[in-house]
Amino acid sequence: MDVLQFTLLVAAGSFGAGLLGSLTGLGGGVVLVPMLTLAFGVDLRYAIGSSLVSVIATSSGAASSYVREGYSNIRVGMFLEIATSIGALFGAYLATRIPTAAIAVIFGLALLYSAWDSFRSRKDEGDVNTTPNPIAVALRLDSSYPTQQGPKTYHVQAVPLGFGMMMGAGTLSGLLGIGSGAMKVLAMDRAMKLPFKVSTTTSNFMIGVTAAASAGIYFSKGYIDPGLSMPVMLGVLAGSMLGARILMRAQVRTLRLVFGVVLLAMAVQMIYSGVSGKL
């Protein structure tokens, strides 16, 4: 395989990753890192570095559309970015001192839990919490999002729990280079009781800041290769822009199913590769 073929294949795979990341709030890194390491034989840390660059591109591409349409909760996103940025710096520090096989297993276990949680039953999207939370009211986090019946108001819950989970999500982002979109969506969807589409779109709004906090450390260590990062970034950006258009008309139940299936497949692959020493 020559350089041109490699670049085109990486760009095509990154397009699919960006599309999926935009639809589910994962940020694309959850597919990119396994794809680059397992399919193309890229060193795990270089794959993580390129993934972080692509995560920033995904956030920039998709988040602008979601903000304009009124889905993203900007106040929630900016508040939780404090926790994710602190965690991302810590995770990037750990990544330079942990063997790649161990990182792969941690990656897989995190995704396995996320996949299991996404398949659990929950109330329909219309049954959002209607009881105001004092902390959320004080911080003015409550908002509304567009539906076919018009704007629907929701109330943010469990703010301290969500903040703590976001610090863990930031650590995973810096350690694994995945934007930690899965953990962000779960924290906002399950703990803070935001509607699923609000959770995914707010996650897309946040992941760029989280990734930028840890990308500097990877860059200083030489793990960001421009020749690899460029096709990855362009492919993910194009996919995320298309995904933002599709999301507006997508069914929540379908998004949850796709979310869980992809996470399950990636989890099994990464755990196997880490335990067998292939990474």
- Locate the domains of the chain by residue range: 3-275
pTM: 0.67
pLDDT, tens digit, 9 for 90 and up, residues 71-130 = 888 899 889 989 988 888 888 788 778 887 787 787 788 778 767 766 765 544 444 556
What CA–CA distances, in Å, run from 70 to 73, 90, 201? Answer: 8, 32, 10
> What confidence tier does 160 reach under pLDDT thresholds 50, 70, 90?
very high
The predicted pLDDT at position 124 comes to 45
225 phi and psi angles, rounded to 5 deg: -95, 115
Beta carbons of 235 and 14 less than 8 angstroms apart: yes
